[in-house]
Amino acid sequence: MFRSGTVMAWNVFRFCTALRGLGSIMILLVLAVVGVTYYAVVVSNYFPALYDGGLASLSALAVLILFHVLLVMLLWSYFTVVFTDPGSVPPNWKPALDEERGETDLLIEAEFGGVPLNPTNPRIRYCRKCNQLKPPRCHHCSVCGRCVLKMDHHCVWVVNCVGALNYKYFLLFLFYTFLETSVVALSLLPHFIAFFSDDDLPETPSTLATTFLAFVLNLAFALSVLGFLIMHISLVAANTTTIEAYEKKTTPKWRYDLGRKRNFEQVFGMDKWYWFIPSYSEEDLRRMPALQGFEYPSNPDFDAQEF
């Protein structure tokens, strides 16, 4: 029995190590899909259509402008998720005195499976892998090998954990990916239909194959990303994460639900001008610990009552 458990733990470790090694491969795969799509939409079809004149030229110009704007936003959001730390536990972090006495409404061990520091105080969670205390809503990522604040999941597509500090960027990546792939699928649909017609097509076989591949890939991504986007919108509305949605199970009242407006602002910030770009205003950056429901003891300017 012990041997079987040891082998299972070893296999899980090998799996996590393999996921960690996928980094550059997944980034190259994303760029390859973007490259195929760019060639099919811009080079093969709509840039040459600019010289046709009349309504065809105007339609091609509109498609090209929309395609490039969404592409810039998609790549900006994507690489922001990739290179943004999702949120680490500050060194030597300790809960406030009132938390140690159990006077605050911390998540209990039974709800989130955290190992308690000692049996007399089950409200303070401790990570045996990181050998440190775990703040509320913090989880250990086996792929990254560390605890992540408000961890949602580890995403192999962005080669990073999705947590407190990059969740907004991940949502924007999903949003712009859905818009971009939908635009591409719609713009290539006439060419895709023509692929099965009996008419003689002016395109070369390689161009037809690229257009066909780009249409299928983008349609598949649009449909799959739409499902993820709807799921994460519902999570934001309830101020929960993928992990928490699974682990809280039958909890009657979610203690972090502040109402849809404040739940949204906790992720996207309070400055409306920054809601649709992968960045925060200076004011929101200053408020970030409060917006995420976490106080950094090393930040003397933080006021927990401000938000």
Between helix 205-238 and helix 167-195 the angle, nearest 10°, is 150
pLDDT for the residue 17: 54
Who wins on pLDDT, 206 or 211?
A: 211
SS3 162: strand
Average pLDDT, the chain: 79
- Give 247 or 135, the one with higher predicted confidence: 135
pLDDT given for residue 107 in this prediction: 41
Q: Which of 37-41, 219-223, 243-247, 287-291 has the lowest mean pLDDT?
A: 287-291
User: Greater confidence, 285 or 119?
Assistant: 285
Cα distances (angstroms) measured from residue 242 to each of 155, 228, 248: 12, 11, 10
Specify the pLDDT at position 269.
92
pLDDT interval class at 272 (50, 70, 90): very high
Q: Is the per-residue pLDDT at 68 higher than 50?
A: yes
Active site residues: 155
Give the per-residue pLDDT at 203. 65
Q: b or e along 222-261 (b: 16 or more beta carbons within 10 Å of the residue's beta carbon)?
A: beebeeeeeebeebbebbbbebbeeebeeeeeeebeeeee
pLDDT at 198 over 80: no
